[in-house]
Structure 1
Amino acid sequence: MKSFIAALAFAVIAAVGVAMVLNTIQEPSSVAFTTTGARVSDPGHNLIGPG
């Protein structure tokens, strides 16, 4: 039982850590896919939420 609780705690800590890292790395599509050939404007508020 102790090993199950330890594994559960590790999974929660790992998930929170990875979520925090991804929040700092990811950028909105309006920034990531802006090139000289295609401009994606700032979406603002649309059907999927704030940009």
Structure 2
Amino acid sequence: MFISDVLYFLLYILVLVGVIILVLIAIGIISGILYGLNYLINKKLFRNK
């Protein structure tokens, strides 16, 4: 009984860590896309002037 409880606890920690990593990756990708779009928009605006 004790061993299965420990395994469930470890599995829970692994899932939690995985979710945190996925969220960080998603934030990185979104911020990268926004930065890229901002850069392109600024480039176009400066080119028009």
Task: Provide TM-score, normalisation by structure 1.
Answer: 0.50
Higher RCO, 1 vs 2 (CA within 8 Å, ≥6 residues apart): 1
2:3 corresponds to:
3
1:20 corresponds to:
20
Work out the number of aligned pairs and report it. 30
Cα distance in 1 for residues equivalent to 2:16 and 2:2: 21
2:42 corresponds to:
none
Runs of 4+ in 1 over 4 A off after TM superposition: none
Alpha-carbon shift at residue 14 of structure 1 (Å): 0.5
Percent identity, aligned pairs only?
A: 13
- Which has the larger strand fraction? 1
Cα distance in 1 for residues equivalent to 2:8 and 2:16: 12
Task: Provide TM-score, normalisation by structure 2.
Answer: 0.52
Alpha-carbon shift at residue 15 of structure 1 (Å): 0.4
Gaps of 5+ in 2: 37-49
